Amino acid sequence: GVVPISNLIRTIRTARTQAEEREMIQKECAAIRSSFREEDNTYRCRNVAKLLYMHMLGYPAHFGQLECLKLIASQKFTDKRIGYLGAMLLLDERQDVHLLMTNCIKNDLNHSTQYVQGLALCTLGCMGSSEMCRDLAGEVEKLLKTSNSYLRKKAALCAVHVIRKVPELMEMFLPATKNLLNEKNHGVLHTSVVLLTEMCERSPDMLAHFRKLVPQLVRILKNLIMSGYSPEHDVSGISDPFLQVRILRLLRILGRNDDDSSEAMNDILAQVATNTETSKNVGNAILYETVLTIMDIKSESGLRVLAINILGRFLLNNDKNIRYVALTSLLKTVQTDHNAVQRHRSTIVDCLKDLDVSIKRRAMELSFALVNGNNVRGMMKELLYFLDSCEPEFKADCASGIFLAAEKYAPSKRWHIDTIMRVLTTAGSYVRDDAVPNLIQLITNSVEMHAYTVQRLYKAILGDYSQQPLVQVASWCIGEYGDLLVSGQCEEEEPIQVTEDEVLDILESVLISNMSASVTRGYALTAIMKLSTRFTCTVNRIKKVVSIYGSSIDVELQQRAVEYNALFKKYDHMRPALLERMPVMEKVTTNGPAEIVQTNGETETAVLETKPPPSGLQPANQVTETDPGYAGFLFPTGIPSITAYNKNGLKIDFTFERSNTNPSVTVITIQASNSTELDMTDFVFQAAVPKTFQLQLLSPSSSVIPAFNSGTITQVIKVLNPQKVSDSKKNC
C-alpha cells in the first residue's frame, strides 16, 4: 500500500546525511509518479500531500500540478482542500496550467457549502492572475455582499488581491463597501479596513469618497479602547490590537493633507496615546501606530509634542526593536518638530553607546540632525567621542557629518580648525577625499590662525604618520608657514622651540616612511621646496634632498624633484615668486566626466546631453568671473527650463539666462529638491562640457536638501563658449 504522510515524515527525519535524505525522497517520488500514471484516485490526495511536504523541504514537485487540478475538480471536501493548497504552493500566474482552474474556482465560488467557497476565495486571493481576477471579480463582489461573516471576511481580502492585479475593477467593489463597517464581527471589520486602505492608497477619488467614514472609524476605535474584557479579542489586556492598528493606519491615510478629517480624529488619537498600556508589546505597537498617524496628519501642536514624548519613552525601553523604531520616527519628524525632539537630546546621545549597530547608526544620524548653533559644542564633543570609539563602518559617515556640522555651525575659526584636526587625528584614513583641500582652504582663509595651526599640526604628526590626510595637511601647512613655526609666533598657546633642521627632519621622515602614500610624499617634497624661500640656514640641505628624489622610482615624485631642481639652477631668479605663500582660496568645483549627483554618500551619474562644438575651435584660456573674456552662450535664447535629473526622490531643474552685460555668457541656475522622508546630505553637484567650453561652478547654497520638498538647494553655473567670443571679435 501507499505509505502515509506521517510515516514518510518520520522516515525522512531519520536520515543522517543529505545524500540519505535525497535518496529517500527520490524513491518516494518514483512511487508517487507510478501511482499518478495508474490514475489511482484512491491515494491521489495522500500522494499530493506528500509532494507538498517534499516541496517545503526544497525538492522539485512540479509534476504534481495537474494532480492538484484533478483534486480541485473532485466532489470530496478533503480532496478539494489538498488540491487548493497544492495549487497555491505549486502554481503561480507564470504557469499556464493555472488558467485551467478558472472554471473550477468559479463553480466553487457558487457552491452551496461555505467552506468550499472559502477555499476558492483563498486560492484566488493568493495566486489569481489578472485574467482570472477579471473573470471572477463578479463572484467575489457578490460574496462581499452576503450576510455570512465567514465569507465576507475572505471576500474582502480576495477583493484586495483583485484590485492589486486589476486596479480598474476597483469601482465594482464600491457599492459593497457601504455597509462593511457596520459589521459587528471583528474579522469582517479587520478585512474591510484592509480593503478600504488599499482603495484609498490606489485612488485619490476613493480617498476623497471615504473621508466621510472618519467619524464611523473613530467610533469603532473608541468602542475598542473603552470596551471591557472580551476573551475572544483580548491580547495582553488590550481589545483586538490588530484591528486598532489597522484602523489607525486607515485614519492616517484619510487625515493626510485634510484639515476636517484631521480635526475629527484629534481627540481619539489623544485618548489612545494616553490610555494605552505600555507594559506589554501589543500596547507599544498601538502607540507606535498612533504616533505615526499623529505625525502624518494635520494634528494639533500639543498632540505632536505628546507623540514625540511617547517616542522619547520608547528610547528608554529595554526592547531593541522599540528603541530602533523610535529613533527612525524621530529622524523623520526632526525637521518639522525640531524643538520637541531637542528635549530628548540626552537620551538620543546615550543611544550612541548602545551595543546594537543598527541603533547606533540611527542615533548617529539623529544626533547630526539635532546639531544647531546653540548646542554645537556639546554635540560635537559627544560625536567626537563616538568617532573615537565606534566601529570602522561608522567612521566615514560620522567624520563627514562632523565636517558638515562644523562648517555650518562653527562658533569660531579656531574651534572649527581644532574640530577637523581632531577628526583627522582620530579617523583620518576614513575621511572623504575632499577633506584635505577643504581644511587647507579653511586654514588659508584664517590668516590670524596660521601660527597656531602650523604648531598644532607639527605636534600632531610627530612620530605618527598613520593618518595620511592629517600628514598631508600638516605637510602643506609646514611648507606654507614653516617660518612662523620656527619663529615661535603662536599667541593662542605656549610656543614651542623648533629649529629649521627639526622641521626638515620631520618632512624627510614623511618622505621615507613606509606608511606614506605617493600623494603624501608629493605634499612633503613640495613643502620642503617651499621652505627654501622661508628658511635661511638649510637651503643646501633642501637642494640635496630635492636632487636625491630626481632619480626616484615614483614617476610623479621624480617629475616634481626634476622641476624643483631646475628652480635652483636655471630659474633660480623666479624661485621666490613661484614659491610665495598661497593667497586666500575660493572653493572651485572641477569639471568631471559627467554630471555627478552625490547625496547621502551615494553617487549617481545622470546624462545631460550637450551638442559637440564645431571642429577646429581652440580651447579658450582659463578665465575668471571678473575677466572681461568670461563669456559664453551654450544655449539659444529663450530656452525653457528643463528637469535634468529626477530619480529616487531627488529632482534637479535647470533654468537658463543670458548675461545682461555680455551676450556671450550663459548663467545656468540649478534647483535641487528632495521628496523623500529623510534629508539628503553631502550634496555635491558636478557637470562637464565639451573641451572647447569653459565651465565655472559656484558654491551651492547648502549641502543638505530638506525632506518632503520643504526647501531647495540652488547653485549657479557659468559657461564660456569660445565660439561666441571669436564671433563677436570678428564682428568688431
> pLDDT tens-digit profile of 173-185?
988 888 888 888 8
Of 69-83, 644-658, 716-730, the range with the lowest mean pLDDT is: 716-730
CA distance 350 to 488: 42
Binned at pLDDT 50, 70 and 90, residue 725 comes out as: very low
- What pLDDT score does 731 carry? 44
Q: What per-residue string of b and e applies to 553-591 under the rule 16 or more CB within 10 Å gives b?
A: eeeebeebbeebbebbeeeeeebeeebeeeeeeeeebee
Binned at pLDDT 50, 70 and 90, residue 657 comes out as: confident
| Residue type present at position 111 | H
Percent of the chain with pLDDT over 70: 89
Q: Which three cell numbers stand for residue 427?
A: 579617523
- What pLDDT score does 723 carry? 62
- What pLDDT score does 100 carry? 82
> CB neighbours of 475 closer than 8 A, spacing ≥ 6?
507, 510, 520, 523, 524, 526, 527
Q: What is the end-to-end Cα distance of the chain in Å, rounded?
A: 106
Q: How many helices (H) and strands (E) does the chain have?
A: 32, 10
Residue 497 contacts residue 447 (beta carbons within 8 Å): no
Mean pLDDT of 582-590: 66
Q: SS3 breakdown of the chain: % helix, strand, coil, rounded to 5?
A: 60, 10, 30
Q: Name residue, grid cell 570609539.
A: 389
* Whole-number Cα distances in Å, 605 to 189, 269, 388, 608, 700: 48, 45, 34, 10, 18
- What pLDDT score does 699 carry? 79
Residue 98, Cβ density class (10 Å: 0-12 exposed, 13-18 middle, ≥19 buried) = buried
> CB neighbours of 648 closer than 8 A, spacing ≥ 6?
604, 676
CA distance 361 to 391: 11
* Whole-number average pLDDT of the chain: 83
**In what order do the strands lie in the sheet containing 642-647?**
642-647, 650-658, 665-674, 712-720, 694-697
Listed in sequence order, the DSSP H helices in 390-431 are: 392-409, 413-427
Neighbours of 244 (CB within 10 A): 22
The DSSP element (H or E) to which 652 belongs, if any, is: strand 650-658
Phi, psi angles (nearest 5°) of residue 684:
-130, 125
CA distance 65 to 74: 15
Smallest Cα–Cα separation from 601: which of 496, 684, 682, 694? 682
277 versus 373: which is more confidently predicted? Answer: 373
Question: 46-80 pLDDT, tens per residue?
Answer: 889 999 999 998 888 888 888 888 889 888 999 99
Q: Is the pLDDT of residue 251 over 90?
A: yes
Of 529-538, 594-603, 683-692, the range with the lowest mean pLDDT is: 594-603
Q: Is the pLDDT of residue 703 over 90?
A: no
Q: Is the pLDDT of residue 202 over 70?
A: yes
> β-pairing, 595-599 with 602-606?
antiparallel
Mean pLDDT of 258-273: 90
Angle formed by the axes of helices 130-144 and 149-165, to 10°? 150
Q: Is the pLDDT of residue 444 over 70?
A: yes
- What pLDDT score does 478 carry? 92
Neighbours of 259 (CB within 10 A): 10
Residue 48 contacts residue 64 (beta carbons within 8 Å): yes
Q: Which CATH superfamily is domain 595-731 in?
A: Gamma-adaptin ear (GAE) domain (2.60.40.1230)
Q: Which three cell numbers stand for residue 85?
A: 493548497
Mean pLDDT of 559-586: 87
Q: Which three cell numbers stand for residue 337?
A: 518638530
Mean pLDDT of 141-160: 93
Binned at pLDDT 50, 70 and 90, residue 605 comes out as: very low
- What pLDDT score does 722 carry? 59
Of 239-253, 305-319, 353-367, 488-502, the range with the lowest mean pLDDT is: 488-502
Taken in order 93, 99, 104, 110, is the CA torsion positive or negative?
A: positive
Neighbours of 77 (CB within 10 A): 12
Mean pLDDT of 391-417: 90
CA distance 131 to 523: 69
Q: What is the 3-state secondary structure (H, E, C) of 573-611?
A: HHHHHHCCCCCCCCCCCCCCCCEEEEECCEEEEECCCCC
Q: Which three cell numbers stand for residue 35?
A: 501511482
Residue 403, Cβ density class (10 Å: 0-12 exposed, 13-18 middle, ≥19 buried) = buried
Listed in sequence order, the DSSP H helices in 297-412 are: 301-314, 320-333, 338-342, 345-350, 357-370, 376-389, 392-409
| Residue type present at position 720 | L
Strand partners, 686: 596
- What pLDDT score does 663 carry? 61
584 versus 373: which is more confidently predicted? Answer: 373
Residue 696 contacts residue 718 (beta carbons within 8 Å): yes
CA distance 139 to 133: 10
CA distance 715 to 250: 41
Smallest Cα–Cα separation from 166: which of 130, 142, 191? 130
Residue 664 contacts residue 689 (beta carbons within 8 Å): no
- What pLDDT score does 664 carry? 66
Q: Is the pLDDT of residue 667 over 80?
A: yes
CA distance 446 to 435: 17
Residue 335 contacts residue 708 (beta carbons within 8 Å): yes
Ranges for all domains in the chain classified under CATH 2.60.40.1230: 595-731
- What pLDDT score does 603 carry? 38
| Residue type present at position 326 | A
Q: What per-residue string of b and e applies to 505-515 under the rule 16 or more CB within 10 Å gives b?
A: ebbbebbebee
**8-state DSSP, 705:** B
> CB neighbours of 95 closer than 8 A, spacing ≥ 6?
65
| Residue type present at position 62 | H
- What pLDDT score does 661 carry? 63
| Residue type present at position 721 | N
CA distance 589 to 587: 7
Mean pLDDT of 282-293: 92
Question: 8-28 pLDDT, tens per residue?
Answer: 899 889 989 999 989 998 988
Q: Is the pLDDT of residue 617 over 70?
A: no
Binned at pLDDT 50, 70 and 90, residue 301 comes out as: confident
CA distance 106 to 91: 17
Q: Is the pLDDT of residue 616 over 70?
A: no
